[in-house]
Copies of this chain bind each other. A is one copy, B any other.
Amino acid sequence: MSFTERLRQVQINQNSLLCIGLDADQSKIPAPLRTREHSVLEFNRRIIEATQDLVCAYKPNLAFYESLGEQGVTILRETLNFIPKSVLTIGDGKRGDIGNTAERYATSLFIDFGFDSATVNPYMGADSVEPFLTDPEKGVFILALTSNPGSKDFQRLKIGMVPLFEKVVRTVKKWNTNQNVGLVVGATHPRELQRIRRMVPDMPILIPGIGKQGGDLKSAVRSGCDRHGQLAIINASRSIIYASAGGDFAEAARAEAIKMRDEINLYRDV
């Protein structure tokens, strides 16, 4: 089954488009956990346990694990073990390099860690993305229009009449012969998200930027879903996992995730 089909199934089974970003920040771990040796792992375990019936995906941000050294590698691997097979995983590292190096990154993420999908940067072109596309079951989310202020610096530059990010969308659409290519489009650009969804009616779109970054949930859902109210993946990280800084952090995360899943489903109107 292709990655896109897998995503559809998971979103139906879980009745959720919500993705929780596991940006495990040691300095933000609730105080009651901080004394433990593997506090980040325990934090992730409890967040996953409390929310696994509410999401279609979890998205560990690789930078946060890299910054923990050897321990970070162990924590990331064990975190993935806690995630049930009923939910997809997104390795968010925005990798991109020449062919033989990209192959390393793909093997490391898809085979060694066992991620279901990964985020990739398009700047280096086809051969930097190809190694991520060979297995139809594994998905790739290619950066199109990102949620941050710097997205205006290059992504919006005009190539003839068309902004660069649209060129990226048109090009990666051609790479989608295995039905496993998706895009990253920030919720901070609702009009462009709508345009992009029209260009790729059947591709997954990972949508970060809700919450702390200021994106609006309603327009993200309305603009990002396909005609079946699917294939948009709405990511929230800090607003859910750090909903409470106390001993009730897991319950607070669950409450926040329920609220967000339900709000998303309301706007999906399916």
Chain A interface (Cβ within 8 Å of chain B)?
23, 61, 63-64, 66-67, 69-70, 72-74, 77, 94-99, 101-102, 104-105, 107-108, 112, 121-129, 143, 146-155, 157-160, 164, 167-168, 171, 213
Contacts A73-B69, A123-B121 given; does A154 touch B167 at CB 8 Å: yes
| Inter-chain contacts of A122 with B (CB < 8 A) | 123, 153-154
Hey, which chain B residues are within 8 Å of A159, CB to CB? 157-159, 164
Give 6 A-B contacts (CB < 8 Å), ordered by A residue: A23-B101, A94-B96, A123-B154, A125-B150, A126-B150, A153-B171
Hey, which chain B residues are within 8 Å of A155, CB to CB? 123-125
Would you call A104 and B154 a contact (CB within 8 A)?
A: no
Q: Does the CB pair B164–A149 fall under 8 Å?
A: no
Contact partners of A147 in chain B: CB under 8 A? 98
With both chains docked as a complex, state the minimum distance between the C-beta of A22 and any C-beta of chain B, in angstroms.
13
Smallest CB gap from A144: residue in B? B123
Return the contact of A74 from the options B64, B66, B70, B126 (Cβ within 8 A): B70
- A128 CB contacts on chain B under 8 angstroms: 148, 150
Indicate if the CB atoms of A108 and B66 lie closer than 8 Å.
yes
Quick check: B167 and A63 within 8 Å, CB to CB? no
A185 to chain B, nearest CB (A): 13
Q: Which chain B residue has the least Cβ–Cβ distance from A208? A: B98
Least CB distance from A94 to B in Å reads: 5
- Smallest CB-CB separation from A72: which chain B residue? B73
Contact A149 B125, beta carbon cutoff 8 Å: yes
A61 to chain B: which residues have CB within 8 Å?
A: 97, 101
B125 touches A63 (CB 8 A): no
List residues of chain B with CB within 8 A of the CB of A164.
154, 157, 159, 164
Q: Please tell me if the beta carbons of A105 and B151 are within 8 angstroms of each other in the complex.
A: no
- Name the residue on B nearest A111 (C-beta): B67
Which residues does chain B contribute within 8 Å of A74, judged by CB atoms? 70
